[in-house]
Amino acid sequence: MTNYVITGAGAAGLYTAYRLLQSGTLKADDTAKVFEWADRPGGRIYTYTFPPKFGGNGLYCEFGGMRFATDANFPSAAKITEGHVLVQHMIIDLGLQAKVVPFQQSDNRLYYLRGVNIYEKDISSLDGLPYGFNAEFKNFLSANTVPKPYTADNILGAIGALFAPTLGASNADRGRWCTYYANGKVGPGAGTPSFPPGTLAHNMGYWNLLYDQLGDEGFDYSADGTGYTSNVINWNAADAMQANNDYSSTTSYQRLDGGYGLLFDALAEKVTALAARYPASGIFYGQQLKGLVESETDESTTCMFIDHGKSHDAVYHVKADQLFLAMPRRSLELIAPGCPSSYMLNNEKVRYFLESSIDQPAIKVVLIFDQAWWTGPDCKYPPNLALPTGAPANTPKAQWVGGATITDLPLRMVYYFANNIPGGPGTSAGPYVMLASYDDMNYSNFWRELEVAGEYKTAPSLIDQPLKGPTPVPVNSPLAHTLLKQLAEVHGIEIEKVPVPTAVYFQDWGQDPFGGGYHGWAAHYNICKAMDCVRAPYQKILDQPARKTYIIGSCYSFDQAWVEGALCTAESVLQDFVGLPPLNQYIASYKLICTG
Ligand SMILES: Cc1cc2nc3c(=O)[nH]c(=O)nc-3n(C[C@H](O)[C@H](O)[C@H](O)COP(=O)(O)OP(=O)(O)OC[C@H]3O[C@@H](n4cnc5c(N)ncnc54)[C@H](O)[C@@H]3O)c2cc1C
């Protein structure tokens, strides 16, 4: 009898449970249990349906992940090898193809940088940009092929082309990227005194490198104009080359009509149905892993849980023969103090690798309006929007969708989702959903402090807001006022003409137990080695191959800002350590992770 224990019912945990339970390899008396702290599946995928009082029949917004990249064959054919391969195969396996629709973005984005409005297609020279670019930056533009318009995406793309030339962006190139992560060096034409030719790319901080190449103002423009501050922090330059060139904000994506959460609800349902065949198996919500102890008599682990439905003092124990810790760095760090000092998570050699992933805090603030004021006559700088796919040509502008509008104001990015009830709004005039702030890193803190009303009521470290779901914020709160002021500025409309929203919702992924919305590899780490070692710390770091404890999830993956990374690390462990065959023939040749 084997007890499989999975902690965390996010993408990685649910996928692992699904694969184990449908593999046909479990014996009749085996158990498979998933323990999840929150009261729902999905982790950092959180599709929230607004209460009907806000006028929508199924109106929703994604407070976590919202889109995925696809293969040209998807969803009509089984041969899926490009884009987020495992995500697409799961959508097919779970029969959700009919829900797949394009994630529509603006093709001429609106920017508001340093008080100046400008549309993307007008950035054909540096002239209209309010930055004091130095000679270094201008030399960079003339010496390198930077496609026009000179957007931040195109500048970061040119950095990638200079430092990681000809590596490609197809999934077939993932192996070459792994080689680059481990051994990529500054080439002869790209060096400077700070980073001479031969410097290993993974030993450079990306901010350091951008500063070196673009100068201070060139860096500031690239940072302001990319929307995601996480793209330009001082993370591992080798990783940044890949991440900023692979999937950028201009890549075309798809989504599920009704929300990404549909995939994880379906996966959880499937796991529950499959688990019914095994004793005491299933998904258990409201269960917080507090600590772990290695058995002294065999290779198992004792997991200590708190049941949040009962007394918080009542810790109960569960034996795990195979343990899958399906959670990010910060969640693991919160468990470590509850383990003996000799436990794996507290081991110095393991911690070396656990600290290779940087938490990237991210927040979303979503507003609901009765009027789509950004399409009205008072708005001097309206966003460029697209007719929703499949909607009649005479659909009113208010129902058009798009984004991101990008600004250096703390709100950073705005998306316009109109009336996004599943199946389309029909003749309904509203309400309208706006992702009014999507930002990360230092900008998250701007909104976090505004969201707190008065003095803190609990220790900030005990606020587990992201576990509970989006927090409704009063429409006349400091947060709402500040956001409306910035929205007015970005769109060139008088603040008095911006209507009061009917609802404001806030989600802060930087809080515990997540510590970040997504992650990036830290500089001065060999990414391949870290990715390979973290997933199986006993086998790869501690030389104790009989202990079967694995760390999975997007945090330590090839795709740290994507569900795909969570599924890839899980699939790699199931293939390499549990002995399952690949999910299907296409996965057999797909580079799941880097090893080194
Ligand atoms: C704002 C935002 C935007 C994003 N955009 C996209 C996107 O568009 N597309 C995309 O593919 N990805 C996107 N991502 C990333 C994606 O959501 C994540 O990479 C992915 O969901 C991570 O899955 P995971 O299983 O690795 O971890 P998680 O989803 O973090 O799952 C970990 C689980 O462990 C649970 N847990 C933690 N501690 C404990 C404990 N002590 N005991 C029990 N349970 C515990 C958590 O509650 C959680 O359910 C986005 C993320 C955010 C936040």
User: What is the reported pLDDT for 169?
Assistant: 86
Q: What is the CA(485)–ligand 1 centre distance, in A? A: 31
Report helix, strand or coil for 345: helix
Q: For residue 514, give the ligand 1 atom closest to its CA.
A: 30
Q: Retrieve residue 294's tokens.
A: 């290695």
For the stretch 303-342, pLDDT in tens is 999 999 887 678 999 999 999 999 999 999 999 999 999 9
Ligand 1: residue whose CA is nearest its atom 31: 10
Q: What is the CA(305)–ligand 1 centre distance, in A? A: 20
Alpha carbon distances (Å) from 9 to 39, 214, 378, 568: 10, 43, 46, 16
Q: What is the CA(457)–ligand 1 centre distance, in A? A: 27
Residue 447 has pLDDT above 80, yes or no: yes
* H or E element in which residue 364 lies: strand 362-369
Q: What is the CA(171)–ligand 1 centre distance, in A? A: 23
Q: For residue 290, give the ligand 1 atom closest to its CA.
A: 41
In our burial notation (b when 16+ CB lie closer than 10 A, e otherwise), range 289-322 reads bbbbbbeeeeebbebbbbbeeeeeeeeeebebbb
- Angle of CA points 260, 263, 268, to nearest 5°: 130
Ligand 1: residue whose CA is nearest its atom 36: 8
Q: What is the CA(538)–ligand 1 centre distance, in A? A: 24
Task: Please write down the HEC assignment for all residues of 200-244.
Answer: EHHHCEHHHHHHHHHHHHHHHHHHHHHCCHHHHCCEEHHHHHHHH
Q: Retrieve residue 562's tokens.
A: 């994507």
Q: State how far the Cα of 12 lies from the Cα of 15, in Å rounded to an integer.
A: 5
For the stretch 544-576, pLDDT in tens is 999 999 999 999 999 999 999 999 999 999 999
Which runs of consecutive H residues, i.e. helices, occur in 295-385? 329-335, 348-354
CB-based pocket (< 6 A), ligand 1: 7-13, 35-38, 43-45, 64-68, 288-289, 326-328, 331, 335, 362, 364, 467, 509, 513-514, 517-518, 553-555, 561-563, 565-566
Ligand 1: residue whose CA is nearest its atom 37: 331
Structural fold of domain 3-43+260-359+519-588: FAD/NAD(P)-binding domain (3.50.50)
Q: What is the CA(420)–ligand 1 centre distance, in A? A: 23
- Going by C-alpha positions, the residue among 436, 443, 431, 415 that lies closest to residue 488 is 436
Beta strands in 277-361 (DSSP E): 282-285, 287-294, 301-307, 315-320, 322-326, 357-360
**Domain assignments of the chain as residue spans, ordered by start:** 3-43+260-359+519-588, 132-246, 362-508
- Going by C-alpha positions, the residue among 593, 569, 564 that lies closest to residue 247 is 564
Q: What is the CA(394)–ligand 1 centre distance, in A? A: 39
Q: State how far the Cα of 471 lies from the Cα of 473, in Å rounded to an integer.
A: 6
Q: Report how far Cα 244 is from the mean position of its chain's Cα atoms.
A: 14
Q: For residue 35, give the ligand 1 atom closest to its CA.
A: 43
Mutate to test the pocket of ligand 1, among 7, 36, 44, 415 (most ligand atoms within 8 A of CB): 44
- 162 forms beta bridges with none
Q: What is the CA(513)–ligand 1 centre distance, in A? A: 10
Q: What is the CA(438)–ligand 1 centre distance, in A? A: 16
- The percentage of the chain sitting over the pLDDT mark of 70, rounded to a whole number, equals 99
Q: For residue 11, give the ligand 1 atom closest to its CA.
A: 25
Band of residue 423 on the pLDDT scale cut at 50, 70, 90: confident
Q: For residue 507, give the ligand 1 atom closest to its CA.
A: 1
Q: Report how far Cα 282 is from the mean position of its chain's Cα atoms.
A: 26
Ligand 1: residue whose CA is nearest its atom 4: 65
Dmax (CA) of the chain: 75
For the stretch 362-411, pLDDT in tens is 999 999 999 999 999 999 999 999 999 888 999 999 999 999 999 999 99
Half-sphere exposure of 58 (CA within 13 A, CB side): 11
Q: State how far the Cα of 269 lies from the Cα of 41, in Å rounded to an integer.
A: 10
Ligand 1: residue whose CA is nearest its atom 35: 8
Report helix, strand or coil for 249: coil
What mean pLDDT value characterizes the chain?
Answer: 95
For the stretch 209-255, pLDDT in tens is 999 999 999 999 999 999 999 999 999 999 999 988 765 555 679 99
Q: What is the CA(45)–ligand 1 centre distance, in A? A: 6
Ligand 1: residue whose CA is nearest its atom 24: 553
Q: What is the CA(378)–ligand 1 centre distance, in A? A: 39
User: What is the reported pLDDT for 213?
Assistant: 96
Task: State residue 175 phi and psi, 5-degree precision.
Answer: -65, -40
Which residue has better confidence, 206 or 427? 206
Ligand 1: residue whose CA is nearest its atom 14: 65
For the stretch 259-306, pLDDT in tens is 999 999 999 999 999 999 999 999 999 999 999 999 999 999 999 999
Ligand 1: residue whose CA is nearest its atom 10: 562
| Residue 204, phi-psi category: left (phi > 0), alpha (psi -120 to 50), beta (remainder) | beta
Q: What is the CA(44)–ligand 1 centre distance, in A? A: 3
Q: For residue 335, give the ligand 1 atom closest to its CA.
A: 41
Ligand 1: residue whose CA is nearest its atom 53: 517
Which residue has better confidence, 430 or 322? 322
Band of residue 168 on the pLDDT scale cut at 50, 70, 90: confident
- Architecture per CATH, domain 362-508, reads as 2-Layer Sandwich (3.30)
Beta strands in 474-567 (DSSP E): 503-508, 518-521, 548-552
User: What is the reported pLDDT for 428?
Assistant: 76
Polymer length in residues for the chain: 596
Ligand 1: residue whose CA is nearest its atom 2: 64
Q: What is the CA(269)–ligand 1 centre distance, in A? A: 18
Q: For residue 9, give the ligand 1 atom closest to its CA.
A: 49
Q: What is the CA(388)–ligand 1 centre distance, in A? A: 28
Q: State how far the Cα of 224 lies from the Cα of 111, in Å rounded to an integer.
A: 10
Q: For residue 14, give the ligand 1 atom closest to its CA.
A: 25
